[in-house]
């Protein structure tokens, strides 16, 4: 019950597209992450400035980075699965 059958029976034709997608999403996240690190290093006082709902930038940005990682992970999986289904189906037909 816990062991699913292997899904890749033939060659996975979606590898180049998935790799490109992964690299693009990595750079998007890295850019946002670097924003946090740069603010912390260069403008640390900005992290204490209050924004939405009386919460400061440090709290909003930090929580945002965690939530963004989860959301981007789900989007990546959705897009990869769609690519695999589409391209490997075309290959079989």
Partner 1 sequence: MIYQISSMAIIIFIFFVLTVLGLSFFFARKTKSASGYYAAGGQIHWAVNGIAFAGDYLSAASFLGICGMIAFFGYDGFLYSIGYLAGWVVALFLVAEPLKRLGKYTFADALDAKFNSRAIKLTAAISTLVVSIFYLIPQMVGAGALVTPLLGLPHWVGVMMVGAVVILIVATAGMTSTTYVQFIKGGLLIVFSLIVVILVLNKGIKLNPSADYHKPIVLAATLAEGRVQAVADSSYQVLGQHEESGLTFVKMTKAGIDSWWKLNSISSTPELEETLTVVETGDGRTLYNGEPKEAGKFYQVGHVNKIVVNGREVEETGPLGPFKFIKTLGTSEVVRFTKKAFTFAGDKITIYFQNITAGSDIIKPGLYYKLDKGSSIWSRLDFLSLMLALFLGTSALPHILIRYYTVPSQRAARKSTIVAISAIGFFYILTLFLGTGAMINGSLDLGSSNMSAPLLAKTFGITLFSIISAIAFATILGTVSGLIVASSGAVAHDLMDKYMKIKMTEKQKVKAGRIAAVGVGIVAIMLGIIFEKQNVSFLVGLAFAIAASANLPAILMLLFWKRTTAKGISWAIVVGMMTSLVLILLSPTLYELYGLPAASAPMPLKNPGIISIPLGFLTLVVVSLLTKKREASPALEK
The residues that touch partner 1, with contacts defined as CB under 8 A, are: 2-8, 12, 15, 18-19, 22-23, 25-26, 29-30, 33, 36-37, 40-41, 44-45, 47-48, 53-59, 62-63, 65-67, 69-70, 72-74, 76-77, 80-81, 84
Q: Is 23 helix (H, G, I), strand (E, B) or coil?
A: helix
Residues β-bridged to residue 50: 56
HEC string of 26-61 equals HHHHHHHHHHHHHHHHHCHHHHHCECHHHCEHHHHH
Whose Cβ is closer to partner 1: residue 51's or residue 90's?
51
Minimum gap (Å) between residue 58 Cβ and partner 1: 4
């Amino acid at each position: 019950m816990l062991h699913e059958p292997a899904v890749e029976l033939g060659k996975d034709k979606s590898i180049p597209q998935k790799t490109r997608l992964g690299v693009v999403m990595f750079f998007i996240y890295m850019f946002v992450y670097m924003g946090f690190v740069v603010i912390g290093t260069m403008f640390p006082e900005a992290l204490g400035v209050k924004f939405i709902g009386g919460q400061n930038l440090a709290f909003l940005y930090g929580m945002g980075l965690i939530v963004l990682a989860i959301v981007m992970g789900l989007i990546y999986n959705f897009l990869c699965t769609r690519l695999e289904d589409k391209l490997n189906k075309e290959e079989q037909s």
